[in-house]
């Protein structure tokens, strides 16, 4: 189904490191950006040879051949979460570690629908250690890999060295050795399945370079916000205590007792509950002290400053932040996942005079800001995006695919009227309502109830959603009854017969593939989708040639002549590895989102081939640094490249990108 990577001599690697920077909070690039960083143990194995552990912390040196092979293109380096090993080795040995010489077994596991962590995937495959051994390993990491608290008992030291506990150190070396054994066993176990495509491997390499390069941060803006936040929080907390008389304004039991003393008994005090209670109280005109208290709670509950803290923690010594995106973070679609600052859920900015607001905050003009704007925390929230800035003499060219999921599912299913919309005016919300209810598109105007209905229909119904999906996208706020919502669902499906048929076709093809192992099942229209069971994994080959995977897929009889698809995956609510059910609409969603992701990936590779390096990306949007002076020309070129006109597998898919230029990241 896919093209395999050329065979090279294999070198499996796992390292144990020390740093005075917290890896989880700060990321690997900040983790190594400290004089305290060092590699303590280097575990390795060539091919199926015995595993060797080099005790660097005790004065041993890496064998010269191994050191040479770390940068030898004819030797394939393999590690679980290879980004960590690459970054640490590059820093420790002060040499480049080209990602083209590496493969990551964590990415490989994720691409096959398995968990990402070494322990979790080992457990699923029956290769992991038992819980007792894993617990011992975690304690060893805490003991040797992180600073310790200085006490009289330990002689006021702040770090545990091998000599402080030789027995534990011997166990730690065995722990390192076993990790190499496990990662190699995982690699061997997964070798029987289709390899990643060459373009996918190139995309991982590009991702590594993108994360490595990072993006510049406006440290004046971050510093000003953080400098003010603590004082503001203290003042607001004191005011909340004055209003309520309670000593901990964050204590829900204390808040409830205070509200009860005023005859107020809300069902919930979560974000939505506080919002609803404020609406009720404002309508009565009473309890002004409670209203002010709840408004303070709302303001302090915003996560805006938390993200500034995250930026500050991960900031490297050159004022750049790195490692914000994780390749194949979502193993059902292959999409990137946000890390550290969580780029995927940044608040929007809606200020018209954004330049002025930024400058006022950077200058610390708090009194003037208070006069001009109702909520300082709202300002901080809206300015988070603008912390990411272009370097001197550079500008960001920001290009975003327009309604890409709606385009992709129309293309996959052959819904031609929708494709015609995207090839012409592109007003899919207006066209969706007009087509569903057979009215002229000109009658569906911006801001009208009809357009709003068209919008929620588009957002909620593309993957088999019904009334509840419409409500999740805000239909309740429009005052529509369940009968009216049901009418919206039926009207949309009636206007999109090819999409609704696509859901059924996908489900039937998946079931047929599972029941007929080894058979390649296709559907109409032929967009290159192929359903095939290999071993116990259901693969769905996408138009790009990449495949998404469902572990231990099977068809289960659920009674009344109906069957259901089940597979093993991580439950998003419990985060446990367990059996999960799926259906045609959900499979169609996975396929659509995965294909949209592949469009973005193909565009990034094309941009790179044309000399444009993506600084970072958010959803279906790329942020590219270009020279000032010719930014308009560069933006047009970037938008043209993103149309993928020369990419064979997207033939007939009308891709267009909107864009703008800016010296700091923002929403246009």
Is the model's pLDDT at 167 over the cut of 80?
Answer: yes
Q: Give the pLDDT confidence score for residue 57 in this predicted structure.
A: 97
69-127 confidence digits (pLDDT tens): 999 999 999 999 999 999 999 999 999 999 999 999 999 999 999 999 888 888 888 88
607-646 confidence digits (pLDDT tens): 999 999 999 999 999 999 999 999 999 999 999 999 999 9
Inter-CA distances, 428 with 399, 431, 433, 542, Å: 20, 5, 9, 25
Inter-CA distances, 173 with 40, 43, 177, 181, 660, Å: 10, 8, 6, 13, 53
Confidence of residue 580 (pLDDT cuts 50, 70, 90): very high
Average pLDDT, stretch 434-459? Answer: 92
Closest CA to 508 of 439, 450, 562: 562
Q: Give the pLDDT confidence score for residue 138 in this predicted structure.
A: 86
Q: Give the pLDDT confidence score for residue 119 in this predicted structure.
A: 86
Inter-CA distances, 282 with 272, 294, 300, 539, Å: 16, 11, 20, 55
Closest CA to 593 of 615, 569, 619, 575: 619
Confidence of residue 457 (pLDDT cuts 50, 70, 90): very high
Is the model's pLDDT at 3 over the cut of 60?
Answer: no
Is the model's pLDDT at 131 over the cut of 60?
Answer: no
Which helix (H) or strand (E) segment holds residue 617: the answer is: strand 614-618
Average pLDDT, stretch 467-472? Answer: 91
Q: Give the pLDDT confidence score for residue 1 in this predicted structure.
A: 42
Q: Give the pLDDT confidence score for residue 501 in this predicted structure.
A: 97
Strands annotated E in 127-218: 215-217
Inter-CA distances, 295 with 240, 252, 369, Å: 10, 15, 18
Q: Give the pLDDT confidence score for residue 635 in this predicted structure.
A: 97
**What distance in Å separates the CA atoms of residue 136 and residue 518, rounded to the nearest whole number?**
43
Average pLDDT, stretch 455-479? Answer: 90
Q: Give the pLDDT confidence score for residue 270 in this predicted structure.
A: 86
Is the model's pLDDT at 232 over the cut of 90?
Answer: no
Q: Give the pLDDT confidence score for residue 400 in this predicted structure.
A: 95
Closest CA to 63 of 78, 49, 45: 45
Percent of the chain with pLDDT strictly greater than 70: 97
Closest CA to 506 of 410, 403, 412, 571: 412
Look up residue 548 and give its DSSP letter: E
Structure tokens at 362: 């950077």
Average pLDDT, stretch 453-465? Answer: 93
Confidence of residue 304 (pLDDT cuts 50, 70, 90): low
Cβ atoms < 10 Å from Cβ of 255: 22
Strands annotated E in 160-315: 215-217
Average pLDDT, stretch 255-259? Answer: 90
Is the model's pLDDT at 421 over the cut of 90?
Answer: yes
Domains located in the chain, CATH noted:
9-196 (3.30.420), 215-321+348-383 (no CATH), 416-495 (no CATH)
590-603 confidence digits (pLDDT tens): 999 999 999 999 99
535-568 confidence digits (pLDDT tens): 999 999 999 999 999 999 999 999 888 999 999 9
Q: Are 650 and 396 in contact (CB under 8 A)?
A: no
Average pLDDT of the chain to the nearest whole number? 92
Q: Are 78 and 54 in contact (CB under 8 A)?
A: no
DSSP helix/strand/coil, 550: strand
């Amino acid at each position: 189904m896919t093209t395999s990577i050329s065979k090279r001599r294999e070198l499996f690697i796992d390292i144990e490191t020390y740093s005075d920077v917290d890896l989880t909070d700060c990321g690997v690039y900040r983790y190594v950006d400290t004089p305290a960083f060092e590699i303590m143990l280097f575990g390795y194995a060539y091919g199926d040879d015995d595993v060797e552990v080099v005790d660097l912390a005790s004065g041993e040196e890496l064998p010269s051949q191994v050191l040479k092979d770390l940068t030898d293109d004819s030797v394939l380096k393999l590690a679980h979460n290879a980004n960590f090993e690459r970054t640490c080795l590059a820093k420790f040995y002060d040499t480049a570690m080209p990602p083209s010489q590496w493969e990551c077994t964590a990415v490989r596991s994720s691409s096959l629908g398995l968990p990402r962590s070494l322990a979790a995937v080992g457990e699923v495959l029956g290769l992991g250690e038992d819980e007792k051994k894993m617990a011992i390993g975690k304690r060893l990491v805490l003991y040797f890999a992180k600073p310790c608290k200085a006490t009289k008992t330990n002689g006021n030291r702040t770090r545990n060295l091998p000599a402080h506990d030789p027995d534990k150190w011997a166990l730690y070396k065995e722990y390192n050795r076993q990790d190499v054994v496990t990662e190699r066993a995982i690699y061997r176990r997964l070798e029987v399945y289709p390899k990643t495509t060459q373009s996918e491997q190139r995309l991982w390499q590009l991702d590594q370079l993108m994360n490595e390069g990072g993006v510049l941060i406006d440290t004046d803006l971050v510093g000003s916000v953080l400098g003010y936040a603590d004082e503001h929080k203290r003042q607001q907390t004191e005011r909340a205590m004055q209003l309520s008389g309670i000593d901990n304004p964050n204590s829900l039991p204390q808040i409830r007792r205070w509200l009860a003393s005023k005859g107020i008994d809300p069902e919930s005090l979560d974000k939505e509950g506080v919002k609803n209670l404020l609406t009720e109280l404002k309508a009565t005109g009473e309890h002004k002290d409670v209203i002010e208290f709840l408004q303070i709670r709302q303001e302090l509950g915003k996560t805006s400053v938390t993200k500034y803290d995250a930026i500050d923690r991960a900031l490297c010594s050159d004022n750049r932040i790195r490692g914000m995106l994780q390749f194949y973070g979502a193993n059902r679609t292959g999409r990137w996942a946000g890390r550290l600052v969580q780029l995927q859920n940044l608040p929007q900015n809606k200020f018209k005079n954004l330049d002025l607001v930024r400058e006022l905050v950077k200058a610390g003009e708090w009194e003037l800001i208070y006069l001009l704007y109702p909520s300082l925390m709202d300002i901080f929230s809206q300015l988070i995006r603008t912390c990411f800035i272009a370097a001197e003499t550079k500008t960001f060219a920001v290009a975003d695919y327009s309604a890409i999921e709606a385009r992709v599912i129309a293309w996959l299913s052959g819904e031609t009227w929708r494709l015609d919309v995207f090839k012409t005016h592109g007003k899919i919300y207006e066209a969706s309502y007009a087509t569903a209810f057979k009215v002229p598109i000109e009658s569906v105007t911006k801001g009208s109830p009809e357009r709003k209905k068209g919008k929620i229909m588009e957002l909620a119904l593309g993957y088999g959603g019904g009334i509840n999906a419409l409500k999740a996208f805000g239909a309740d706020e429009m005052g529509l009854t369940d009968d009216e919502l049901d009418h919206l669902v039926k009207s949309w499906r009636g206007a999109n017969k090819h999409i609704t048929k696509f859901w059924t076709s996908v489900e039937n093809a998946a079931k047929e593939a599972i029941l007929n192992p080894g058979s390649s099942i296709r559907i109409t229209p032929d967009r290159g989708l192929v359903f095939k069971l290999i071993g116990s994994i259901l693969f769905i080959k996408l138009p790009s040639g990449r495949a998404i995977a469902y572990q231990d897929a099977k068809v289960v009889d659920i009674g009344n002549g109906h069957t259901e698809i089940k597979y093993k995956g991580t439950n998003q609510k419990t985060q446990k590895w367990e059996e999960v059910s799926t259906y045609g609409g959900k499979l169609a969603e996975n396929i659509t989102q995965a294909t949209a992701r592949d469009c973005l990936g193909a565009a990034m590779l094309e941009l790179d081939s044309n000399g444009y390096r993506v600084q970072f990306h958010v959803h279906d949007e790329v942020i590219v640094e270009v020279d000032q002076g010719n930014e308009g020309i560069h933006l047009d070129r970037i938008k043209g490249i993103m149309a993928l006109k020369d990419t064979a597998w997207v033939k007939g898919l009308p891709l267009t990108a909107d864009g703008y230029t800016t010296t700091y990241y923002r929403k246009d």
